[in-house]
Amino acid sequence: MIAQDFDYLRRYLKERSGLVLSADKQYLAESRLLPVARKYHLADLGLLTAQLRAAPNGPLGGDVIAAMMTNESFFFRDKLPFDYFKVRLLPALVAARSREKRVRIWCAAASTGQEPYSLAMILHELGPALAGWRVELLATDIANDVLEKARSGIYSQFEVQRGLPIQQLVRHFNQTGDVWQIASDIRGMVTFKVFNLLNDFAALGVFDIVFCRNVLIYFDQPTKSGVLNRLGRVVAPDGYLVLGAAETVVGLTENFSPMPDHRGVYVPKAARVMAPPLAPEQPRPLPIPRVIAGGER
């Protein structure tokens, strides 16, 4: 691939997806994009870039972006955020939303579905505590190919063995030959949709919990700040933002601050309200320091 084409691709990816591809990654672009060129019957990457320049909003662009993404994901990745979700975040919200009985959760970089399905399994197991509740679980990603796989709910033997406890595998999956499909009741809990994190979030509404994990690492500082600032507008004042292990809000946004003693969990700044005490049958969260916004609430 000639330097000019590679530069164009880097700019294209950055503008369209936020992905920062460093100048030494030409080999990666070539190996990932050759199959895309083949799919479009383009003889080489020069022709692929030419077609992209001619129609930057066409389907080729989507395939180029999808091909350059890192989609790795596991069930219950890093474990701790999912433990927090189950014993701290969710119980606090269940207490706080006991009148409207509605919780909205967003997985903002859902990839092949392991993250939203991990959350769905937890919600499913909490069943009785959420009886009569409307629980929405929206899972989005910029790439449609990974969402297709996510929707199918079909995983290889390798994929179901990374992070998924064997009890959960037996309980929530059906085996067909050497692949495993997540049960339809769990699948039915998740809505998958293509969505680009560079776009405006307003149309998605307000969420109680946002998982935005292992995607900001691919962006530069201004893009990270932009996403985090916009997330500040869609996370409920008493909601939570969960980032990946290598990600933070520190130095990037004024909208969130780290939740004490909960690595990877962030809360909207200066807008916390005290949650009422939990019903005895629910796991009791430790006291969470919360600030009352400007003393008005």
Partner 1 sequence: MKTCLIVDDSSVIRKVARRILEGLEFQIQEAEDGEQALDMCRRQLPEAILLDWNMPKMDGYEFLRSLRRLPGGDSPKVVFCTTENDVAHIARALHAGANEYIMKPFDKEIVEAKFQEVGLI
Ligand X SMILES: C[S@@+](CC[C@H](N)C(=O)[O-])C[C@H]1O[C@@H](n2cnc3c(N)ncnc32)[C@H](O)[C@@H]1O
Contact residues: partner 1, CB under 8 A: 74, 79, 157-158, 161-163, 165-167, 169-170, 175, 178
- Is 187 labeled as catalytic in the residue annotation? no
The interface partner of residue 143, options being ligand X, partner 1, none and the CB cut-off 5 to 8 Å by kind, is ligand X
Identity at 95, one-letter amino acid code: A
Catalytic residue among 32, 151, 162, 290: 32
Catalytic residue among 141, 187, 213, 238: 141
Contacts of 281 (CB under 8 A, 6+ apart): 129
Q: Cβ atoms within 10 A of the Cβ of 150, count?
A: 26
Minimum distance, C-beta of residue 149 to ligand X, in the bound complex (Å) = 10
Which position among 142, 182, 228, 235 is part of the footprint of ligand X (CB under 6 A)? 142
CA distance 297 to 294: 8
By CB under 6 A, tell whether 139 contacts ligand X: no
In 100-189, alpha helices (H):
114-125, 144-152, 157-160, 166-172, 184-187
Identity at 43, one-letter amino acid code: A
Give how far the C-alpha of residue 125 lies from the chain's centroid of Cα atoms, to the nearest Å: 21
Of the two residues 90 and 108, which places its CB atom closer to ligand X in the complex?
108
- Is 141 labeled as catalytic in the residue annotation? yes
Q: Which window, 92-100, 158-166, 177-185, 209-217, contacts ligand X (CB under 6 A)?
A: 209-217
The interface partner of residue 146, options being partner 1, ligand X, none and the CB cut-off 5 to 8 Å by kind, is ligand X
Which position among 94, 139, 143, 228 is part of the footprint of ligand X (CB under 6 A)? 143
Of the two residues 179 and 204, which places its CB atom closer to partner 1 in the complex?
179
By CB under 6 A, tell whether 141 contacts ligand X: yes
* Beta-sheet pairing, 207-212 with 179-182: unpaired
Minimum distance, C-beta of residue 245 to partner 1, in the bound complex (Å) = 14
Identity at 285, one-letter amino acid code: P
State the DSSP string of 244-294.
-TT---TTT-SSEEEPTT-TTEEEETT---PPPPPPTTSPPPPP-----GG
By CB under 6 A, tell whether 115 contacts ligand X: yes
CA distance 120 to 105: 10
By CB under 6 A, tell whether 253 contacts ligand X: no
CA distance 98 to 291: 21
Which position among 198, 278, 288, 291 is part of the footprint of ligand X (CB under 6 A)? 198
By CB under 6 A, tell whether 63 contacts ligand X: no
Per-residue b/e over 101-136, b at no fewer than 16 CB within 10 Å?
eebbbbbbbbbbbbbbbbbbbbbbebeebbeebebb
The residues of the shown chain that bind ligand X, judged by CB under 6 A, are 17-19, 69-73, 77, 109, 111, 115, 141-143, 146, 196-198, 213-215, 218, 244
Give the catalytic positions in this structure.
Answer: 32, 141
